[in-house]
Amino acid sequence: MEAGVRLGAGVSKWEIREKIWDYMEANNLADFPRPVHHRIPNFKGASHAAARLLGLQEFKSAKTIKINPDAPQKTARFLTLEARKTLLVPTPRLRTGLFNKIVPPPGATKEILRICATSQGVKNYSVPIGLDAKVQVDLVVVGSVAVSEKGWRIGKGEGFADMEYAMMVSMGAVREDTLVVTIVHDCQVVDFAEELLDDHDLTVDYILTPTRTIKTGCKRPKPQGIIWHKVSYEMLERIPILKNLRYRENQAGKDVTLKDEHPDFPNARKAVESDKNAKTGNTKLQAESTSAQIGHCHDGNDSLSTKSGTRGALTTVYVGNIPPGTRVSELKTALREFHASPLRLTWQEAQCRAFLGYADKMTAESVVSSLKGLSLRGRSLRVEMAKNQRNKGQVEISGQRNKSE
């Protein structure tokens, strides 16, 4: 451990982060991007530390490995691809989903694999993995700002690694014995109290540095799933896929009460009410205004019009791959759960699809993002902007007849 990183008694998580970041900057221990503050540091020697993966039996036997997208794990991603293992990389900041599976082109050279291991490669050589995918992750590699030899881990403070792991638990992608590895500089290995950790904090089983492989022997349980009473409405908006998981767990009968709704949370009722009425440019405002405008939903090949009977130009979202036998009321319930109720709904039961009309493109795009990974009756839906709405402003469907549900 670097002698220069010293922690006093009673130090907080944030103070530990600041000390590590300050030390790495002062001693020029980091590569681009700089400064390292508020980041998972891309430390010098990261490639040497990552190479220690090759010495772990757990890496050798793993078939599917999840590795975070930060720069210091680039070599770890390359080594995983080079070993012909399945590589899963979380979507940055979980904005559009949970995982991307990296799929190198056939016969990819080492140079191509190195490109696949970069952020650009994730964009060009990956396919999204939905919540219904039967994925079994054998090894998890995460970044850290600080970590103790006992396996306690501190990230950069945004909680994405903890949330990613909790989501994997919820979708059955990890087991109790799935190992977690972190790759850090020696100066990031420091001693701090376990009392700083919370139930949602992820612990690690191995620490890889440029000079050491540390087996922590950590016995502290890892997150057992999403702790909903610690999730806020604001977090749901930042991580759309979290809405999908909450909907699923609610349907399964689990308690999904959010922090803002919890009776011990200050002004809980006020927080819920303000959430309903927040004019943030997303689908929440649409959901509230819709109740005053929308008429009855219709079954069969017919259109949903507003009470006024008008058919204004709307931006349209396509929903496909709907399971046969699904009723429009099931889709309506799911849309309400995600605050995505449309101004117009065209239900085409025979074609297993629907078209949702929204007031503007921004709202429609927000809906598409929010509904990524949504499923009905165990089948993932296909949700995207309707192809022929760009110029027309809405999907025109002829030969329809109205039939109330």
Instruction: Note the pLDDT of residue 264.
Output: 54
Q: What number is the average pLDDT over the span 94-122?
A: 87
Q: Are residues 253 and 291 in the same domain?
A: no
Q: Do 50 and 94 sit in the same domain of this protein? A: yes
Clarify whether residues 349 and 296 are in a common domain.
yes
- Residue 19: domain span: 13-215
Residue 403 lies in a domain: no
pLDDT above 70 (res 300) = no
Q: Residue 189 carries which DSSP code?
A: B
Quote the pLDDT of residue 171.
84
Output the domain CATH number for residue 199: 3.40.50.10420
Same domain, 109 and 179: yes
Determine, yes or no, domain membership for 224. Answer: no
Mark which of 215, 232, 266 sits at the end of a domain. 215
Q: How far is it, in rounded angstroms, from Cα 34 to Cα 243? A: 34
Domain shared by 267 and 288, yes or no: no
Neighbours of 287 (CB within 10 A): 18
Confidence of residue 263 (pLDDT cuts 50, 70, 90): low
Q: Which of 175, 198, 215 is the last residue of a domain?
A: 215
pLDDT band per the 50, 70, 90 thresholds, residue 94: low
Looking at the fold, whether 194 and 84 belong to one and the same domain comes out as yes
**Which tokens go with 299?**
């079954």
Average pLDDT over residues 294-323: 57
Same domain, 303 and 210: no
221 assigned to some structural domain: no
| 382-385 vs 315-320, strand pairing mode | antiparallel
Where does the pLDDT of residue 277 fall: very low under 50, low under 70, confident under 90, or very high at 90 and above?
Answer: very low
Does 147 share its domain with 271? no
Quick one: pLDDT at residue 240? 76
Residue 202 has pLDDT above 50, yes or no: yes
Question: E strands within 134-222?
Answer: 139-142, 146-147, 153-154, 179-183, 206-208, 213-215
Average pLDDT for 124-149: 89
Tell me: pLDDT of 196 over 70: yes
247 vs 194, 227, 334, CA distance in Å? 33, 14, 8
Task: Look up residue 55 and give its two tokens.
Answer: 């010495």
Residue at 231 is within a domain: no
Quick check: 399 pLDDT over 50? no
Say whether pLDDT at 274 is over 70: no
For the chain, how many structural domains are there in total? Answer: 3
In angstroms, the Cα distances linking 344 to 45, 298, 339, 355 are: 56, 10, 14, 8
Is 402 within a domain? no
Q: What is the pLDDT of residue 284?
A: 39
CA atoms within 13 Å, Cβ hemisphere of 37: 9
Buried-exposed string 348-373: b where 16+ CB fall within 10 A, e elsewhere:
bbeebbbbbbbbeeebbbbbbbbbbb
With a cut of 70, say whether residue 390 has pLDDT above it.
Answer: no
Residue in 104, 169, 102, 161 with CA at minimum distance from that of residue 137: 169
96 and 128 in a single domain? The answer is yes
**3-state helix, strand and coil shares in percent for the chain, rounded to the nearest 5:** 35, 15, 45
